[in-house]
Amino acid sequence: MLDTAKNLLTPSRRSDVPPFIVMDVMAAAAQREAQGSRVVHMEVGQPAAAAPRTALAAAQAALANGRIRYTETLGIPSLRARIGRHYGERYGLELDPARVAVTTGSSGGFILAFLALFEPGDRVALANPGYPPYRHILSALGCEPVLIDTSAETRWALTPEALLAEHRQKPLAGLVVASPANPTGTMMTAEALGALIAAAEGAGIKMISDEIYHGLDYAFRAETAARLSERALVINSFSKYFCMTGWRIGWMVVPESLVRTIDRLQGNLAISVPTLAQIAAEAAFDGREEMEAVKHGYEENRRILTEGLPKAGLDKFLPVDGAFYLYADVARFADDSLDFAKRMLSEAGVAATPGIDFDPVNGRHFLRFCYAGSAQEMHEAVARIGHWLKP
C-alpha cells in the first residue's frame, strides 16, 4: 500500500487504549459452553436480574405511545427532580435538581466530567487497583492517569497522605475515587472519604466520586461525596443497584458553577440521553422493593462465598464490603492470575477475571469474582473450586 494511503488508516496515538482482558475470558467461556460444557459465570460485573418491573412497564407504555423524541440536554425535568429527591430519601441531603445531569451511563458521565474539569496533560490520581476505563478514558483525552497503590492498611483506599505525597512530587489536577470499589469490593467510611475530600480540596485537587455501587453496601452505609462537599462532582448510574446495565443511563451531581459547562458539552456530544431509558429510569425508583430483594440475594451470595471459598482453599481475599465483587489473592497457587483464570475455566468450569485488568503490576496475583448471579451458582462455584484445588 502507498505510504499516503496507509496514513489514511493510521489510528491516532491517543486512541491506543488497552482492551478489557475480561472480554478474552468471556470469549473462552462462551467457546467452552458452545462445546457443551457447563460454566459458572463470575467474570462480568453485571446483575443477573432484570430492571424493576415498574421501569419495564413505563418503557412499554412509552413505546406504545409512539414517538420517542430528543429530551432536554440535561435530562427530562421530572427525572432530574426524582433523582434530586433520592438524595433526600437516601442521604438526608437537600439537593437542587438543577445540579443533576442525566448521562449515558456513568461511562458517559466520566467523559463529560473529565472534559469539564481537566486540560490535556493534567495529572489525575486513581486508586490502584481500580476500574480500568478511568485511566483509559483519561489517556484518550490527553490527561495523565496517576496510579497510587493501595493496601490492606488503608482498606485498599486512597488516603490523604498518599494523595498529598504524590501531589508534592508533581502537582495533581484531580482524583477519582469509588466506594464501594471495583474490583476490590471495599468501601471507605464517611470519615475516610471526608478526610480525603478535605485534603484534596485543600491542595486544589478536583474531586470526582464514582458512586455507581451505592445501594449495594453490606459492611456499612456508603456516604455520598455530595453531602461532604458542594465542590465534589458525583457520578452515579442505574446500571448496578437498579439492574439496568443495557439501558445505558446514569447521572451526575454537578457543582452549581459547572452545570452550564456540562450542558454545553453534552448538547454537543450527545444532544440528549436516550429518552426511553430516561422514562424507565424515573419509574425504576418505584421498584425499590424489588431491587432490595435482589440486594438481599447478593448478601446471601456474599455469605456463601466468604464462608465457602476458604474451605475450598481460597482463603485470602479483601474485605467484602459492597458492590458484588470478591477480590481474591491467588499468589499461593500461581504467579500469573491470567493463567490461573484460564485453568480454572477449563478445569473447573468457573469463569473469573484476572486482576491485571485492574492493576497492571500486582494484579497478576489476584482474581475478581462477581457474585451477582444466583445462590445456586455460588454453591456450585465453591464446590467446583474446592474439588479442583484439592486433588
Binding site for ligand PLP (CB under 6 A): 45, 105-107, 131, 178, 182, 210, 212, 237, 239, 245, 250
Nearer to ligand PLP, 312 or 317 (CB): 317
DSSP code of residue 94: -
| Residue placing its CB nearer to ligand PLP in the complex, 280 or 312 | 280
CB of 283 to ligand PLP, least distance (A): 18
Q: How far is the CB of 319 from ligand PLP (least distance, A)?
A: 17
Nearer to ligand PLP, 79 or 334 (CB): 79
| Nearest one of 379, 384, 368 to 324, comparing CA atoms | 368
Which residues have C-beta within 8 Å of that of residue 186, sequence separation ≥ 6?
155, 156, 157, 179, 180, 318, 319, 321, 322, 327
Residue 70 region by backbone torsions, left for phi larger than 0, else alpha for psi between -120 and 50, else beta: beta
Is 76 in contact with 279 (CB distance < 8 Å)? Answer: yes
User: Which is closer to ligand PLP, CB of 107 or CB of 346?
Assistant: 107
In the bound state with ligand PLP, the residue whose beta carbon lies nearer, of 106 and 139, is 106
For residue 133, the minimal CB distance to ligand PLP (Å) is 7
Write the DSSP symbol of residue 49.
S
Closest to ligand PLP by CB, 87 or 213: 213
The residue of the chain with the least Cβ separation from ligand PLP equals 105
Q: Read off φ and ψ for residue 326, nearest 5 degrees.
A: -125, 125
Which among 200, 250, 193 is positioned nearest to 225, based on CA atoms?
A: 193
Question: Least Å distance between CB 137 and ligand PLP?
Answer: 10
Nearer Cβ to ligand PLP (80/214): 214
Taking the C-alpha atoms of residue 322 and residue 240, their distance in angstroms, rounded to an integer, is: 12
Q: Which residues contact 307 (CB under 8 A, 6 or more apart)?
A: none
Lookup result for grid cell 413505563:
58
Q: What is the DSSP letter of 17?
A: P
Length in residues, the chain: 391
Smallest distance, ligand PLP to C-beta of residue 63, A: 22
- Please report how close the Cβ of residue 313 comes to ligand PLP at its closest, in angstroms: 27
Which three three-digit cell numbers place residue 137? 478514558
In the complex, what is the shortest distance from the CB of residue 281 to ligand PLP, in angstroms, rounded to a whole number?
A: 11
